[in-house]
């Protein structure tokens, strides 16, 4: 049986192809086919992952919002990577994910709705990428609250950034330190917040 068609894969592919096309164009090389490929994937995202023109679901196969992985906060990359730039859609998407995958008002997000502790624990990469998206859409206060949360947790833990926080106690879980998903994402988030 084939696997699911995940939103995250399509969003990063659309963003990557567009970035590559822009680089090709700057170098005076043919870039049209890469721009077109990015546009086709973006159209597919809109046609297959949009729910009621209000938010994005985590995979194309998802039918009802009670299904495992129907909500996948990894979809934040559609906004963080500039695949979708619609502020109204961003706001309605975040409203839905705040209700479904946000752990608490003063904390961040689980990756997916589910029962596996790895998935439902708080994902620091997603907290940071959500902060970057808030920055890109001018919501600096919301962006800063997630930065401050991750920073405060790191201050209590030798300034190391973890992969996860336990859903109940917010204690460190997963890999520590996390490099790309941790310190790398943290630096990118600070850059998005202070230089945009």
pLDDT tens sequence across 61-95? 999 989 999 999 999 999 999 999 999 999 999 99
pTM above threshold 0.85: yes
Least confident of 49-58, 86-95, 111-120: 111-120
The whole-angstrom distance between residue 190's C-alpha and the CA centroid of its chain comes to 15
Task: Report yes or no: 39 and 59 within 8 Å, Cβ to Cβ.
Answer: no
What are the domain boundaries of the chain?
A: 1-100, 122-196
Distances from the Cα of 47 to the Cα of 7, 50, 53, angstroms? 12, 6, 10
Neighbours of 165 (CB within 10 A): 23
């Amino acid at each position: 049986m084939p696997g699911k068609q995940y939103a995250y894969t399509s969003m990063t592919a659309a963003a990557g192809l567009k970035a590559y096309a822009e680089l090709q164009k700057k170098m005076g090389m043919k870039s049209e086919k890469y721009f077109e490929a990015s546009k086709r994937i973006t159209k597919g995202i809109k046609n297959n992952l949009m729910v009621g023109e209000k938010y994005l679901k985590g995979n194309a196969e998802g039918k009802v919002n009670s299904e495992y992985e129907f909500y996948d906060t990894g979809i934040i990359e559609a906004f963080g990577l500039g695949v979708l730039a619609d502020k109204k859609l961003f706001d309605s998407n975040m409203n839905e994910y705040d209700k479904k995958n946000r752990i608490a008002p003063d904390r961040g997000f689980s990756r997916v709705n589910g029962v596996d502790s790895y998935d439902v624990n708080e994902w620091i990469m997603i907290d940071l990428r959500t902060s970057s998206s808030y920055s890109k859409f001018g919501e600096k206060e919301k962006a800063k609250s997630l930065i401050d949360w991750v920073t405060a947790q790191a201050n209590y833990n030798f300034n190391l950034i973890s992969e996860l926080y336990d859903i109940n106690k917010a204690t460190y879980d997963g890999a520590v330190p996390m490099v790309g998903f941790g310190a790398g994402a943290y630096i990118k988030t600070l850059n998005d917040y202070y230089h945009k």
